[in-house]
Amino acid sequence: MLVSSLVLSSLGACYVNPMKFFQSLGGSGCGTSGPASCQNADTPPAASSCCFESPGGLIMQTQVWDTDVAGSPEDSWTIHGLWPDNCDGTYIEDCDPSRDYKNIAELLESQGASSTLEFMQQYWLNNHGTNEKFWEHEWATHGTCYSTLDVDCLPSDSPTGAEAVAFFETVVKVFKTLPTYDWLAQAGITPSYSQTYSLSSLLSALEAASGGYTPALTCSRSHKLSSISWYFNLKGSVIDGEFVPINAPTQSSCPSSGIQYVPKEG
């Protein structure tokens, strides 16, 4: 499964079923009983990298609070990406230009992921250009760097681009377990032109709602909330593995007080 029922329970979310697409292909065959990524990172398990995410085992799910994007939901943060950083915080990008797929929307529809596409059209928006260009960039720049999504790791009868379909379905499903807006609202923290918040109050609210995990918040130079990053390690494959939440290894960039969480205007 993409995120185990135990982990999702700790995050206050419901169980997520495995993606139907790869169910029909037999899944990754990895299971989730092995070590999590970034554990024994210097000496990975004997199993191939198809079942142990390496070197990018520090997985960051980043959301943004864009206030001037037309159509952006007023009551939700939106997706930036799901990035496989190395376990030391460094990262690699653009790992396989031969798989820089174009027309992501058509790819998703043709492989039975129309519901994922519909969600992306609402919650994965580009603030400078088309959504399609944003999706293409996220796949080419970050998605191609997942070792467990290498084409050699897929079932032999997988259609071209199946690993990208798995990537986008996984990003969406992980995002759905992290309702940042709702978790802040539960603590009385909502967008306002006049109210400001302390970093400690924001992090405390998010830690309480997520089961004790600390994200990293980013603010603009004018002290406005702009993005949040949640961190995971992974057991098994991105296709059907278990995302294990961890505390952010980096500090938030926001000031200790006077943080603005302004309403969306798009």
Model pLDDT for residues 130-167, shown as the tens digit of each residue: 999 999 999 999 999 999 999 999 888 889 999 999 99
Catalytic entry in 80, 136, 163, 242: 80
Please give the CATH superfamily to which domain 53-260 belongs: Ribonuclease T2-like (3.90.730.10)
Helix/strand/coil (H/E/C) assignment for every residue in 125-138: CCCCCCHHHHHHHH
Q: Could you tell me if 158 and 25 are in contact, meaning their C-beta atoms sit under 8 angstroms apart? A: yes
* Spatial CA neighbour of 245 closest among 216, 218, 214: 214
User: Half-sphere exposure (CA, 13 Å, Cβ side) for 147?
Assistant: 21
* Spatial CA neighbour of 234 closest among 95, 109, 96, 58: 58
Which three-class secondary structure state does DSSP give residue 205?
A: helix
Give yes or no: 118 in active site: no
| One-letter amino acid for residue 190 of the chain | T
Catalytic entry in 53, 142, 163, 169: 142
Distance between CA 225 and CA 89 in Å, rounded? 22
Give yes or no: 138 in active site: yes
Q: pLDDT tens-digit profile of 29-87?
A: 889 998 999 987 555 554 468 999 999 999 999 999 999 999 999 999 999 999 999 99
* Spatial CA neighbour of 74 closest among 168, 182, 174: 182
Catalytic entry in 136, 138, 169, 242: 138
